[in-house]
């Protein structure tokens, strides 16, 4: 079955520290891969996406993610976290021509300590 796993429900990091949020997926072929961020009570903002090509993807707000086919992973990273990065982060997968069906993980809540 197709699925997305975000193993960390809640992560706390200090401001200025580096961040890595994990995402593993189970899918029949190489999917499209996405990371979204959601602030409390808000919709989802697209941070970055991977369709094909270079496996290291740069996104907005200084985030990047690396697609590792052998590990079925698409981990999100940021070298230095800002207090404004506190939010919930969702990894999602979809297939080309998937007719809209993005499959989301359950999310990782990020807290930032001053």
Binding footprint of other proteins on the chain (CB under 8 A): 4, 32, 34, 36, 41-46, 49, 51, 90, 92, 94, 96-107
Judged by beta carbon, residue 43 or residue 114, the one nearer other proteins is: 43
Beta carbon of residue 105, minimum distance to other proteins (angstroms, whole number)? 6
User: CA end-to-end span of the chain, whole Å?
Assistant: 41
Pick the closer one to other proteins by CB: 70 or 99.
Answer: 99
Q: How far apart are CB 44 and other proteins at their closest, in Å?
A: 4
4 with 93: CB under 8 angstroms? yes
73-78 and 56-58 beta bridge pairing: unpaired
Q: Is the dihedral of CA 20, 107, 37, 64 positive or negative?
A: positive
**Which residue, 12 or 98, has its beta carbon nearer to other proteins?**
98
């Amino acid at each position: 079955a197709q699925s997305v796993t975000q193993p960390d429900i809640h992560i706390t990091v200090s401001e200025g520290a580096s961040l890595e949020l994990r995402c593993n997926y189970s899918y029949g072929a190489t999917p499209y891969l996405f990371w979204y961020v959601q602030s409390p009570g808000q919709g989802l903002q697209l941070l970055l996406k991977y369709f094909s090509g270079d496996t290291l993807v740069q996104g907005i707000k200084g985030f990047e993610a690396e697609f590792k086919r052998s590990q079925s992973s698409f981990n999100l990273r940021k070298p230095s976290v800002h207090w404004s990065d506190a939010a919930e982060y969702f990894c999602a997968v979809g297939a080309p021509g998937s007719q809209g069906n993005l499959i989301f993980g359950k999310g990782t809540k990020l807290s930032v300590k001053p």
